[in-house]
C-alpha cells in the first residue's frame, strides 16, 4: 500500500512484508521470520536517520 502512503503525504515510507503480516511471514520458520522482522525495523531506523524532502519509499530490495 505504499502508493497510498505516498499520496497522502507520509514522508518516510518503508515497504513491509504484506497486508496480512506486515512484519512477519507465516511461511517462514520462527527464527527466519524474526530475522525478517528485524531487517524491516532496521530499515525503518535507517529511514528515520535519513533526511528527506518529500514522500520517499525505502524499498524491500532483495528481501523477496
Binding residues for other proteins, per CB under 8 A? 1-5, 7-12, 15-24, 26, 33-34, 37-38, 40-42, 44-45, 48-54, 60, 64
**3 or 32: CB nearest other proteins:** 3
Instruction: Return the C-alpha cell found at 33.
Output: 521470520
**Closest to 10 (Cα-Cα) out of 59, 47, 56, 50:** 56
**Least distance between other proteins and beta carbon 19 (Å):** 4
User: How far, rounded to the nearest angstrom, does the alpha carbon of residue 9 sit from its chain's CA centroid?
Assistant: 16
**Least distance between other proteins and beta carbon 1 (Å):** 6
**Least distance between other proteins and beta carbon 29 (Å):** 13
Instruction: Return the C-alpha cell found at 48.
Output: 528515520
CA distance 21 to 16: 9
Amino acid at each position: 500500500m505504499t502508493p497510498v502512503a505516498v499520496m497522502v503525504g507520509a514522508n518516510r515510507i518503508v515497504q513491509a512484508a504484506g497486508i496480512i503480516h506486515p512484519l512477519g511471514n507465516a511461511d517462514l520458520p520462527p527464527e527466519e521470520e524474526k530475522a525478517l522482522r528485524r531487517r524491516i525495523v532496521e530499515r525503518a531506523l535507517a529511514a528515520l536517520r535519513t533526511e528527506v524532502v518529500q514522500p520517499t519509499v525505502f524499498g524491500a530490495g532483495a528481501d523477496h
